[in-house]
């Protein structure tokens, strides 16, 4: 794998006329054509549109106009974020031919900043998965070892950045779908605080958990992308009205009296030993830099999986009810004597994959009469307790350190048991439940059968404290 120029370097070179945007886009498309058939990162690309946009960028620069901070930079978009061009399938047969009439706010802001959307990346169907194997259009493979998974559900976006196909990409998170594949592929992935980035145009999975976030090859690139996307949006009532700091401009500043917490629940014996060793080494790097390391107790960590799969499945059941084969999406061929209900049922059975059906059924169950109080209402109560637990932790430290994933990338097809797959998100899920921010950065490798498999360090900070999160991440990146 050959890492591309950073986003900042590439944009500067284009603005300075050292490279043309057309040249950059052509090189990107050629690289995708040569490498992606073996990886499956992209669902589709937009050669004509990309080259036209690049030519317009070059013309604007030639006229002396400001082309924006992302001028000419190729960006990939996860296939559950809508664009007014191309298709948005969410990795599902039920939306196989869907073309959106509008573009998501996060993508609009990238385009306004001069970025060029090169294509849509594969993802687990409706963002439900932790391996990149659940897309109806085939799995994505890890560039570090194509026999292994890249993580999920933002599998294509993470793998595309790791393979050097694009310098940056967008993903989405409901329970770890940016940070976990970032860790397994060896790139930087950011889950912003809930409300920091507009969800307008993100196809809903779990509405109280979902967030759009960036992938980059370095902390500065991720900070730059988030700074462009973040901010209030009148079309999304859950977006925060808070001002957006200058993330890339602030990341080199120190954090005074840095105190870092290490939850005792995060370095378990069940983790891959290489993961624990890499994280402990990263903690020592911070200690050597003068940070105070404190032990933190997060006893509700083990309840995160159960809480998440009740809340997210319930919200998925409601959100995915709109796919009925009538208004849009796949419709089953009519059968003799079939009524409307039968047509709904067959359309959904043919259009949704096994994992999506599993979660819809679970969500419908926990919302049903007689079970709502026992499951869904109780999960909401635990959610509040988890959030309170984080609040108490952040009174003692600036950030929490730990592994992003308990394991490195595993072979394709190895985790056929859904529960084993769900446990891959053990350390990321509670970040979404509490609505705080988190980042995964590379912190080492595990040698497995001659392959170097990346390991991710997770840094969590309190809600809307992305500046501190980026500074702490950059401190490690700069030092190592």
Task: Give the tokens for residue 206.
Answer: 């779990």
Kindly report the length of the chain: 480
Q: Is 172 helix (H, G, I), strand (E, B) or coil?
A: strand
CA distance 88 to 79: 5
* Strand ranges (E), 226-360: 259-263, 292-296
Q: Of 471, 466, 480, 469, whose CA–CA distance to 288 is shortest?
A: 480
Dmax over CA atoms of the chain, in Å, equals: 75
CA distance 177 to 342: 34
Task: Give the distance from CA 278 to its chain's centroid.
Answer: 22
Of 11, 50, 78, 155, catalytic? 78
CA distance 245 to 190: 16
Is residue 76 within a helix (H) or strand (E), and if so which, with residue range? strand 74-78
CA distance 337 to 479: 70
**Cis omega (within 30 of 0) for bond into 148:** no
CA distance 306 to 425: 11
CA distance 201 to 199: 6
User: Residues 326-341, buried b or exposed e (16+ Cβ, 10 A)?
Assistant: eeebbbbeeeeeeeee
Q: Are 480 and 218 in contact (CB under 8 A)?
A: no
Q: Of 321, 282, 210, 295, whose CA–CA distance to 480 is shortest?
A: 282
Is 288 exposed, middle or buried (CB count within 10 Å of its CB: 0-12, 13-18, 19+)?
exposed
Q: Is 78 helix (H, G, I), strand (E, B) or coil?
A: strand
Active-site annotation holds for 78: yes
Of 11, 53, 153, 198, catalytic? 153
Of 50, 154, 157, 177, catalytic? 177
User: Residues 219-246, buried b or exposed e (16+ Cβ, 10 A)?
Assistant: bbbbbbbbbbbbbbbeebeebbeeebbe
Residues 6+ apart with CB under 8 A from 479: 285, 289
Q: Supply φ then ψ for residue 267, to 5 degrees.
A: -105, 65
**Active centre residues (catalytic):** 78, 153, 177
């Amino acid at each position: 794998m050959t890492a591309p120029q950073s986003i900042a370097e590439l944009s500067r070179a284009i603005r300075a006329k050292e490279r043309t945007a057309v040249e950059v886009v052509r090189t990107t498309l050629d690289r995708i054509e040569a490498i992606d058939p073996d990886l499956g990162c992209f669902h589709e690309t937009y050669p004509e549109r990309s080259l036209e946009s690049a030519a317009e960028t070059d013309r604007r620069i030639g006229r002396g106009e400001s082309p924006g901070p992302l001028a000419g930079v190729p960006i990939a978009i996860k296939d559950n974020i809508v664009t007014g061009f191309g298709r948005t399938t969410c990795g599902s047969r039920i939306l196989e031919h869907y073309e959106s009439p509008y573009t998501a706010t996060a993508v609009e802001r990238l385009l306004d900043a001069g970025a060029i959307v090169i294509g849509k990346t594969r993802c687990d169907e409706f963002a439900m998965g932790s391996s990149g194997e659940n897309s109806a259009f085939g799995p994505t493979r890890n560039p570090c070892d194509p026999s292994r998974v890249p993580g999920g559900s933002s599998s294509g976006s993470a793998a595309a950045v790791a393979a050097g196909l694009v310098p940056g990409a967008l993903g989405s998170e409901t329970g770890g779908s940016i940070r976990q594949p970032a860790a397994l592929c060896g790139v930087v992935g950011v889950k912003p605080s809930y409300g920091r980035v507009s969800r307008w145009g993100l196809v809903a999975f779990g509405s109280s958990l979902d967030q759009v976030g960036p992938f980059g090859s370095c902390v500065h690139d991720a900070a730059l992308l988030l700074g462009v996307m973040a901010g209030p949006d009148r079309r999304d009532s859950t977006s925060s009205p808070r001002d957006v700091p200058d993330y890339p401009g602030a990341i080199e500043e120190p954090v005074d009296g840095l105190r870092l917490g290490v939850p005792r629940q995060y370095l378990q014996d069940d983790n891959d030993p290489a993961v624990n060793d890499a994280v402990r080494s990263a903690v020592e790097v911070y200690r050597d830099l003068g940070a105070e390391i404190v032990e933190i107790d997060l006893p509700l960590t083990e309840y995160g999986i159960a809480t998440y799969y009740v809340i997210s499945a319930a919200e998925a059941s409601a959100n995915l009810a709109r796919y009925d084969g009538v208004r849009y999406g796949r419709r089953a061929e009519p059968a003799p004597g079939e009524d409307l209900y039968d047509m709904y049922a067959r359309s959904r059975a043919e259009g949704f994959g096994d994992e999506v059906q599993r979660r819809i059924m679970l969500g419908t169950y926990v919302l049903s009469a007689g079970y709502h109080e026992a499951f869904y209402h109780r999960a909401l109560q635990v959610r509040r307790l988890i959030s309170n637990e984080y609040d108490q932790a952040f009174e003692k430290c600036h950030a929490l350190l730990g592994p992003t994933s308990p394991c490195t990338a595993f072979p394709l097809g190895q985790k056929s048991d859904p529960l084993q797959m769900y446990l891959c998100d053990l350390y990321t899920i509670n970040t979404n439940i509490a609505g705080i921010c988190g980042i995964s950065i590379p912190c080492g490798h595990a040698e497995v059968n001659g392959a170097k498999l990346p390991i991710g360090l997770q840094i969590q900070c309190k809600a809307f404290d992305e500046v501190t999160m980026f500074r702490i991440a950059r401190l490690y990146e700069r030092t190592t």
